[in-house]
Chain A
Amino acid sequence: MSEVVHGYRRPNEAHQPPLNSPAYGSTRARHPQQPLLELPHTLTETSSPIFTPARYPEVADLTVLENGAGHAMGERIIVAGRLTDEDGRPVRHAMVEVWQANAAGRYNHEGDQHDAPLDPNFRGMGRVFTDEDGWYRYLTIRPGAYPWRNHHNAWRPNHIHYSLFGQGFAQRMITQMYFPGDPLLPLDPIFNTVSDEAARNRLVSRFDLDITRPEHALGYRFDIVLRGREATPMEENHHD
């Protein structure tokens, strides 16, 4: 008996960061040294949890607390974009989680000891869902740069972390959105782990006047592409 599983396309290595990246010091003791075992895609990899706003409530405005008291300091921005797969199909009803530093470059996290002020009115995390066409949108504060100890005088460029789920657990990914024209980008070992320039630059959002709301906030566009399905289904191998 033979049947097929529609697996996901394997990544192009130049378009993804390597696990061992000496310029990013934290990879040193954390990257596997043994070759990875190539896992055939089964139902475990091609199925995914279902997230709904009923159980995972939306937080589409990071600039106010739940009780609505007080507004976060900093430059208010709208970030919007489209989640698609490698075939250009929208990823519908997907949960998009974001987290970031505040305008001063400080995370509301006990591990962040940077000498910059916390903002009691900034939520620091958001959660939104894509619509029928894969669009998502949230309101936040432009994050500040902050120092880290990777090397002398190291500063992370402004960025927002993204956590994404698709329709198969093989599409699961975490990434970072950067800002156009940031002078720290050419110096950042994490951004530069992606060797392909075009792939790297797809992590940089674009200023977008159509997303910008008059008298309110600048708009940035950030599209994300999840893996697509294999064109040719894999044969299941179960002759034993």
Chain B
Amino acid sequence: MTEGTASSATPELAPSEATIASAHQTAGPYWHLVDFPEWADTTRHFADALPDGAERITVSGTLRDGNGDLVTDAMVEIWHADPAGRYPDQNGDPTAFQGYGRCATDKGGRFRFVTLKPGPVPVGPHSQGNAMQAPHIALAVFARGLLQHLSTRLYFEGEALNAADPVLKAVPEARRGTLLAKPARPGEWTLDLRLQGEGETVWMAV
């Protein structure tokens, strides 16, 4: 760092200002200055030596607004567990697989990730048995016009655990399809997202 690391000369935070989370603001239309297209491939560090039991998949779809128009300036992020259903330990190996990706929607309103299919995920750190969640991917959408990012989850159609998943079960059946990705071909999962209006995605307060 040109300016050196943080200065100890700077005063401590006043306690009154340290207690309430800062407000979100929109990412705006020019967030692509922090777009790194390689981040859309979470397997980029692994070449052909994938973790045991891993299945490389693609996850893609389009994003539309309330008028049905394609959203071509959005940033989509994914976050999900590894094929064994594990998340990285913050004190663990930083080179282990991580299911984090970022992708810009293109001129066709389309996002596309290359990643590994996640395994079933425990609800909490010590969950057992039926406290497993169906395999899923957290999705976050940032864009001009979104003052806070929108969050949802992608599930995989046909997974046996879907029927018992606590989040899916909380979604009215008529809208559950907005969360279920379908295989266009084996290993190529697609899910279209709708910000508003007909077929609106079930967005979640996280």
Identify the A interface with B (CB < 8 A): 1, 3-5, 9-12, 15-19, 21, 24-34, 36-45, 47-50, 52, 54-55, 58, 60-61, 78, 80, 82, 84, 86-88, 97, 99, 101, 107-109, 111-112, 124-125, 127-128, 130-131, 133, 135-139, 161, 163, 167, 169-170, 172-176, 190-191, 193-194, 199-200, 202-203, 208, 210-211, 213, 221, 223-228, 236-238, 240
Task: A5-B123, A43-B87 given; name 7 further pairs at CB < 8 Å.
Answer: A19-B147, A24-B147, A29-B65, A88-B15, A131-B6, A175-B22, A203-B22
- Cα–Cα, bound, A167→B18 (Å): 17
B98-142 contacts to A, CB under 8 A, are 98-100, 121-131, 133, 136, 138, 140, 142
For A43, the chain B residues whose CB sits under 8 A away are 81, 87, 121-125
B64-103 contacts to A, CB under 8 A, are 65-67, 69, 71, 73, 77, 79-81, 87-88, 90, 92, 94-95, 98-100
For A226, the chain B residues whose CB sits under 8 A away are 21-22
Q: Which of B28, B147, B196 has the most CB of A within 10 A?
A: B147
What would be 14 A-B contacts, judged by CB atoms less than 8 Å apart? A17-B147, A17-B148, A24-B147, A30-B143, A31-B146, A33-B200, A37-B202, A40-B166, A44-B80, A54-B94, A131-B5, A174-B27, A174-B142, A238-B131
Of A44, A48, A60, A202, the contact of B133 (CB 8 Å cutoff): A44
Q: Are A39 and B205 in contact (CB under 8 A)?
A: yes
Identify the B interface with A (CB < 8 A): 1-7, 9-11, 13, 15, 17-34, 45, 65-67, 69, 71, 73, 77, 79-81, 87-88, 90, 92, 94-95, 98-100, 121-131, 133, 136, 138, 140, 142-151, 153, 164, 166-167, 170-171, 175, 195-197, 200-206
Q: Are B13 and A88 in contact (CB under 8 A)?
A: yes
- Cα–Cα, bound, A180→B166 (Å): 46
Q: Are A109 and B33 in contact (CB under 8 A)?
A: yes
Q: Are B133 and A107 in contact (CB under 8 A)?
A: no
- Cα–Cα, bound, A88→B18 (Å): 5
Q: Would A109 and B24 be within 8 Å (CB), given that A37-B205, A137-B5 are in contact?
A: no
Q: Are B20 and A225 in contact (CB under 8 A)?
A: yes
**Could you tell me the dominant secondary structure of chain A's interface residues?**
loop
Q: Would A210 and B6 be within 8 Å (CB), given that A1-B128, A86-B19 are in contact?
A: no
**Nearest-neighbor residue (CB-CB) of A139 within chain B:** B3
Q: Would A32 and B33 be within 8 Å (CB), given that A175-B22, A190-B147 are in contact?
A: no
Of A50, A80, A190, the contact of B26 (CB 8 Å cutoff): A190
Q: Are B32 and A221 in contact (CB under 8 A)?
A: no
- Cα–Cα, bound, A121→B37 (Å): 23
Distance (Å) between the CB of B7 and the closest chain A CB?
A: 7
